[in-house]
Amino acid sequence: MDDRDPKTALIVGAGQGIGLEFVRQFLSENRVDRVYATYRTPSSELVAIPDPRLHCLQMDITQESQIASAIQKIQTETTTLHAIINCVGVLHDGAMQPEKSLRHLNTDQLLHYFQVNSIGAVMLAKHVQPFLKHRNRAIFATISAKVGSIGDNQLGGWYGYRASKTALNMFMRTVAIEYGRTCPSTIVVTLHPGTTDTQLSRPFQRNVAPEKLFSVDRTVTQLLQVIDHLQNSDSGEFFSWDGSRLPW
Ligand X SMILES: NC(=O)c1ccc[n+]([C@@H]2O[C@H](COP(=O)([O-])OP(=O)(O)OC[C@H]3O[C@@H](n4cnc5c(N)ncnc54)[C@H](OP(=O)(O)O)[C@@H]3O)[C@@H](O)[C@H]2O)c1
Nearer to ligand X, 116 or 128 (CB): 116
Query: What distance in Å separates the CA atoms of residue 175 and residue 76, rounded to the nearest whole number?
Result: 25
DSSP code of 119? I
CB of 232 to ligand X, least distance (A): 25
67 in Cβ contact with 124 (< 8 Å): yes
Rounded to whole angstroms, the Cα distance separating 43 from 87 reads 15
- Shortest spacing between CB 17 and ligand X, in angstroms: 2
Distance of CA 56 to the CA centre of its chain: 16
Interacting residue ranges for ligand X, rule: CB under 6 A:
13, 15-19, 40-41, 60-62, 87-90, 116, 143, 145, 193, 195-196, 198-201
How near is the Cβ of 233 to ligand X at its closest, in Å?
A: 25
Q: Based on CB atoms, which residue is closest to ligand X, 16 or 166?
A: 16
Q: How far is the CB of 149 from ligand X (least distance, A)?
A: 11
Q: Assess contact for 128 and 68: CB atoms under 8 A.
A: no
What are the start-end ranges of the H helices in 12-92? 17-28, 44-47, 64-75
Between 154 and 233, CB nearer to ligand X: 154
Closer of 149 and 183 to ligand X (Cβ): 149
Please tell me the distance from the alpha carbon of residue 49 to that of residue 37, in angstroms, as a whole number.
Answer: 11
CB of 142 to ligand X, least distance (A): 8
Query: How far apart are the C-alpha atoms of 165 and 149, rounded to whole Å?
Result: 8
* Residue 155 and residue 199 in contact, taking contact as beta carbons nearer than 8 Å: no
Q: Which is nearer to ligand X, 200 or 246 (CB)?
A: 200
